[in-house]
Amino acid sequence: LLPRLQALFQKLGYMESSSSDLFDQFLKTGMGAKPLIAGYESQLLEFAVQEPETWEQIKGDIVMVYPTPTVWSSHVFIALDEAGALGIDALLDEEVQRLAWENHGFRTGVYDAPTDTAQFGVAGVAEEVTQVAPMPGAPVMEAIIAALS
């Protein structure tokens, strides 16, 4: 699989260093330069909330697609001291989770947390993300990164 992956990446040429950089370039250069990008659902939802006038102008050109299966991008938070424990408490707070969803499009992973997708005005946003495959473990990811570096 790694040789096929390497060949694919070689054909792609220069790639942005982060999904945020890629999304910003897509917004700046438009569909002519970047007709297809892969990014995070939250990037588009946050943009629609924070830049409503611009979103109105470009929304007809954007189609949201979810690969099947897709993956969750999880970020572990470990408290190393009392301040870190307070950070965990804040992230578990229902109001903080509501704001994370409504203002930034972050799904909290809490099963019964409300996720009204209509509020964003973004066509094609999945009500639920149900077909999820686990991310590869650290050794596999390290091998992929090493092969593509």
Task: Please state the φ and ψ torsions of residue 134, each to the nearest 5 degrees.
Answer: -70, 150
pTM for this structure? Answer: 0.80
H or E segment and range at residue 30: helix 19-33
Q: What is the pLDDT of residues 32-80, one digit of tens each?
A: 887 888 889 999 999 999 999 999 999 998 899 999 998 887 788 999 9
**DSSP character at residue 143:** H
